[in-house]
């Protein structure tokens, strides 16, 4: 067996390089999984924080902010006189750029790739949705997927709210008004 300058044969070098390649490949996939899990964890935290901000808004103004095109209409308040009364008007919040009261409104970790949060509301009830990247997450909800709500370029599959998430707000309000 012919030895090289560094004391290893050609076959030994190939085996070592093969093992290193396998280790690097596995590490890469584990790294990608860890990044995906981190983004999903962040989405769940963001939705929880948004719901907290909505509750504070409701306490301050007596109702929830409107929703328009899946966004919160509760930012940049301005007061105007209308028929002699002072009225507060709000603008549509931009995910990841605005504040709802004192709370930063987060944007999805992959906003640049078209991922987005979605907010649906009536003056008394709300639902906030996100799309988790992994169906393996415990909070992944197929009932939300069935509704087909858009979370940017994906269908929402996770959410929080003060009503059941498998129904629209209108369906829920119709049900409770019939009781």
Q: What is the pLDDT of residue 6?
A: 65
Q: What is the mean pLDDT of the chain?
A: 91
Q: Please give the Cα distance from 153 to 125 (Å, whole number).
A: 25
Supply the pTM of this predicted model: 0.83
- The model's pLDDT over 87-120, given as tens digits with 9 standing for 90+, comes to 999 999 999 999 999 999 999 999 999 999 999 9
Residues with Cβ within 8 Å of residue 101, at least 6 apart in sequence: 53, 56, 57, 60
- Mean pLDDT over 4-11 rounds to 70
Q: Which residue has the tokens 């924080």?
A: 49
Nearest-CA neighbor of 123 among 77, 89, 169, 159?
169
Which pLDDT value is given to residue 7? 72
Contact 118/70 with Cβ under 8 angstroms? yes
Q: Does residue 4 surpass a pLDDT of 90? A: no
State how far the alpha carbon of 55 is from the alpha carbons of 62, 88, 125, 140, in Å.
Answer: 10, 18, 10, 24
Closest of 144, 148, 151 to residue 71, by C-alpha: 151
**Residue 5 pLDDT level (bands cut at 50, 70, 90):** low
Strand, coil or helix: 170: helix
pLDDT at 75 over 80: yes
Q: Which of 62, 59, 65 is nearest to 77 (CA)?
A: 65
Cα distance between residue 159 and residue 146, in whole Å: 13
pLDDT in tens, 128-158: 999 999 999 999 999 999 999 999 999 999 9
Query: Which residue matches tokens 């590490």?
Result: 27
- Please enumerate in sequence order all residues whose Cβ is within 8 A of that of 168, keeping only pairs 6 or more positions apart, or say none: 120, 147
pLDDT in tens, 17-74: 787 787 777 767 777 889 999 999 999 999 999 999 999 999 999 999 999 999 999 9
Query: What is the pLDDT at residue 3?
Result: 53
């Amino acid at each position: 067996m012919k030895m090289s300058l560094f004391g290893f044969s050609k076959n030994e070098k190939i085996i070592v390089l093969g093992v290193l390649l396998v280790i690097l490949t596995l590490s890469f996939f584990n790294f990608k999984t860890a990044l995906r899990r981190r983004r999903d964890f962040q989405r769940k935290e963001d939705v929880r924080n948004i719901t907290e901000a909505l509750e504070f808004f409701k306490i301050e103004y007596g109702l929830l902010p409107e929703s328009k095109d899946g966004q919160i209409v509760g930012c940049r308040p301005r007061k105007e006189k209308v028929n002699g009364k002072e009225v507060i008007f709000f603008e549509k919040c931009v995910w990841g750029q605005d504040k709802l009261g004192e709370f930063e409104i987060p944007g999805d970790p992959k906003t640049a790739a078209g991922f987005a949060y979605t907010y649906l509301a009536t003056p008394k009830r709300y639902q906030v949705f996100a799309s988790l990247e992994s169906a393996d997450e415990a909070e992944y909800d197929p009932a939300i997927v069935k509704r087909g709500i858009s979370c940017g370029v994906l269908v929402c599959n996770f959410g929080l709210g003060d009503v059941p998430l498998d129904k629209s707000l209108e369906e829920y309000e119709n049900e409770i008004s019939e009781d």
